[in-house]
Amino acid sequence: MSSPDDRPVHALSGGAVRRSLLLIGRGIASQPRTFTIAIIASVVYGIGLVASGWLLGRITDGVVLPAIQGSGVSTGSIWLAGLGLLLIGAVTAVAVALRRIYAGIGALDVQAGHRRAVTRQYLRLPMTWHRRHPAGQLLSNANADAEAAGGVFMPLPFALGVLVMIIVAGVAMIVADPVLGIIGVSVLPMVLVVNAVYRSYMSPAITHVQHQRAVVADVAHESFEAAAVVKALGTEDFEERRFASASRTLRDANIAVGRIRSVFDPVIDLLPGLATLGVLAVGATRVAAGVVDTGAVITTAYLLTVMTFPVRAIGFVLGDLPRSLVGHDRVSRVIDARGYLGAGRHRLGDAAGADQGLRLDLDGVGVRVPSHDADGAATEADLLTDVTFSVPAGRTVAIVGSTGSGKSTLVDVIARLRDPSAGVVRYDGRDAREITDSGRTGAIALVAQSAFVFEDTVRGNVTLADEVEPDGEGRGRGYTDEQVWAALAIAQADGFVAALPDGLDTVIGERGASLSGGQRQRLAIARALIRRPRLLILDDATSAVDPLVEQAILAGLRRSAGDVTVILVAYRTATIGLADSVVHVERGRVVDAGTHADLLGRDRGYRRLVTAYQRGREERHELHEQHERKVAR
């Protein structure tokens, strides 16, 4: 089930100018109070600069020139001129502080908003989407791209204030002298023309940089994740060369961007200087001709001089816009991604027997995925085809099949990590797509073969920090320690946890590096059991556990978990024998279903499959005995 509205809601549409305006408008609308204060402070700063230029012109004509000419100037006039400049300076200083503080807060809030939106979408999108996107790219979307998308909002309030300042300054310069004013206001259109050329070069360069950032993150993430494999096989030099190659490409891309900016930035700096020289040259001629007063030239030249850095703020915005647009586009691809599983409206608790195991029915379930044929043409491949079987409430069913038979895909469909392309999965007789997310996750627990362990305490890994009422020590905890120990006992994990230095408070290293594979799997099983699920799915979740411990876990589960329904993906004969019935799957189809004994008698493929493990153990045991005999001789 998809979202009712599959249209893009975050991507910007239209040309470069329209997309830039939309980006700016959305950012300001997301933090209206913060940006309003920053923009008003910037406007006050700009008006203060114009006022100081106007006042300086008046002081030149009314105080400086009379004093130079010996006409005499009163002390009061000097003090009044000084106080006026001091007052304007104080106002502009306060405005600068407010602008910088609130512009920084606004920009960081916009970036945080992008990160939250991306992270929320990651949690909503199905596992099938995540498996198509490298982890490094997803990290880059949530970090570098989100940061880039909000980067333009740091100088934006300053630039908007500068626009107001340019308008006011332009009016002041034109009032002082129309000819000089036209020379002064010509700076802005020249800046826009230069930026149009700059943007045509910068946009593709920035796009390449952001893409390469994701590539570097992905290479690094793969190397970190496979650290044990890299060290065991001695491929450190290969990984180092691979990362160095990606880093060099990113470096070259950044250098290309720097070269483009190295041309753009000086040109933007040069424009106000050229206009100032033009004003001085033309103004000197007009003063000599008696057309304008000296104060008008001083006012215009001063305004252009103090506008040099503020006009750079416009350059900052125009320079950052291509990068922010690219970052926003990359973030939008995540936020606008569709295909996530729609939530239903019905609760499983409304069904009869909600306190018992969950009844599971699969009716004609099929899963098709995009693929390519031998010639590279797009086609579709069937992972599951017409899978039909039922699991009565409280029963244990083992799903058995060879590698690549579709067991994991079937588990994903049962747990509703993905929806089937055909057919229907029913919980307690109701379509799984009609069940609320909270109802489904509260009733179904999945333990995968690869047990993920957080860098947290043992207690935190089992409870996942669920919070309800605070305990007696004021700490919020969803489960008591007694419940944690009970879940650990069923999972046969209480023994090694008790032996840890701080028991439940022992902090497990990153990804459980301090634990064995079997210990991590047992913690994951305890994490599922503490939630008292009605349907427990063990996807080869005891593969790293000793067979005797595995049997103890399953026996304890039957004794302590009540009537919970269990789906068990397994390959060990002893484990399969504990199930009430078995479903044999091959090539995405159900080959046979029945008890373990029945399938051994009538299903040759099943018999060959489940006895292979036992034969392998016997062969290894025989080889070991032969080796011991040779040593004894």
The alpha carbon dihedral of 261, 263, 268, 273 has a sign of positive
For the purposes of burial, counting CB atoms within 10 Å of the CB of 44, is it exposed (0-12), middle (13-18) or buried (19 or more)?
A: buried
3-state SS, 360-428, equals EEEEEEEEEEEEECCCCCEEEEEEEEEEEEEECCCCEEEEECCCCCCHHHHHHHHCCCCCCCEEEEEEC
Pick from 328, 474, 411, 393: which is nearest to 21 by CA? 328
User: CA 491 to CA 536: how far, in whole Å?
Assistant: 13
* Region(s) of the chain under CATH 1.20.1560.10: 17-177+320-336
In this model, does residue 487 exceed pLDDT 80? yes
Lookup: tokens for 473: 């020590």
Whether the Cβ atoms of residue 188 and residue 67 lie closer than 8 Å to each other:
no
Strands (E), 200-268: none
User: CA 16 to CA 102: how far, in whole Å?
Assistant: 27
Q: How confident is the model at residue 357 (pLDDT cuts 50, 70, 90)?
A: confident
- Give the mean pLDDT of 106-122: 90
Q: How confident is the model at residue 474 (pLDDT cuts 50, 70, 90)?
A: very low
- Give the mean pLDDT of 108-112: 92
Strands (E), 7-79: none
3-state SS, 144-185, equals HHHHHHHHCCCCHHHHHHHHHHHHHHHHHHHHHCHHHHHHHH
Q: Residues 268-320: pLDDT tens digits?
A: 777 777 877 787 788 888 777 777 777 777 777 777 776 666 666 776 787 77
Q: Residues 173-183: pLDDT tens digits?
A: 777 778 877 87
Element (H, E) at 621: helix 604-632
Planar angle of CA 546, 547, 553, nearest 5 degrees:
90
Element (H, E) at 227: helix 227-233
Pick from 352, 358, 361: which is nearest to 534 by CA? 358
Q: Are strands 589-594 and 360-372 parallel, antiparallel or unpaired?
A: unpaired
- Give the mean pLDDT of 553-569: 78
Q: What are phi and psi of 535, to 5 degrees?
A: -130, 120
In this model, does residue 363 exceed pLDDT 90? yes
In this model, does residue 504 exceed pLDDT 50? yes
In this model, does residue 622 exceed pLDDT 80? no
Highest mean pLDDT among 113-117, 239-243, 378-382, 604-608: 113-117
Q: How confident is the model at residue 352 (pLDDT cuts 50, 70, 90)?
A: very low
Confidence at residue 164, expressed as pLDDT on a 0 to 100 scale: 78
Confidence at residue 633, expressed as pLDDT on a 0 to 100 scale: 52
Confidence at residue 615, expressed as pLDDT on a 0 to 100 scale: 64
- Give the mean pLDDT of 356-380: 82
Q: What are phi and psi of 45, to 5 degrees?
A: -60, -45
* Region(s) of the chain under CATH 3.40.50.300: 360-567+578-602
- Of the listed ranges 61-70, 90-99, 190-199, 317-326, the least confidently predicted one is 61-70
User: CA 379 to CA 358: how far, in whole Å?
Assistant: 37
- Give the mean pLDDT of 609-627: 61
**Alpha-carbon torsion angle 533, 538, 539, 545, nearest 10:** 140
Confidence at residue 282, expressed as pLDDT on a 0 to 100 scale: 82
- CB count within 10 Å of CB 497 equals 23
Q: SS3 of 559, please?
A: helix
Does the structural domain 17-177+320-336 have CATH classification 1.20.1560.10?
yes
Confidence at residue 8, expressed as pLDDT on a 0 to 100 scale: 60
- Give the mean pLDDT of 184-204: 74
- Give the mean pLDDT of 429-450: 86
Q: Residues 413-431: pLDDT tens digits?
A: 998 888 888 999 999 988 9
Confidence at residue 312, expressed as pLDDT on a 0 to 100 scale: 65
Q: SS3 of 317, please?
A: helix
User: CA 280 to CA 300: how far, in whole Å?
Assistant: 9
Q: Which position has the token pair 């099949």?
A: 401
The alpha carbon dihedral of 59, 64, 70, 75 has a sign of positive
Does the structural domain 360-567+578-602 have CATH classification 3.40.50.2000?
no
Q: Which position has the token pair 């189809």?
A: 589
Residue 388: alpha-carbon gap to chain centroid: 38
Q: Are strands 581-586 and 430-431 parallel, antiparallel or unpaired?
A: unpaired
Q: Residues 64-85: pLDDT tens digits?
A: 667 776 666 677 777 887 888 8
DSSP category for residue 623: H
3-state SS, 477-493, equals CCCCHHHHHHHHHHCCC
The alpha carbon dihedral of 334, 338, 339, 344 has a sign of positive
Q: Are strands 565-569 and 535-539 parallel, antiparallel or unpaired?
A: parallel
In this model, does residue 354 exceed pLDDT 70? no
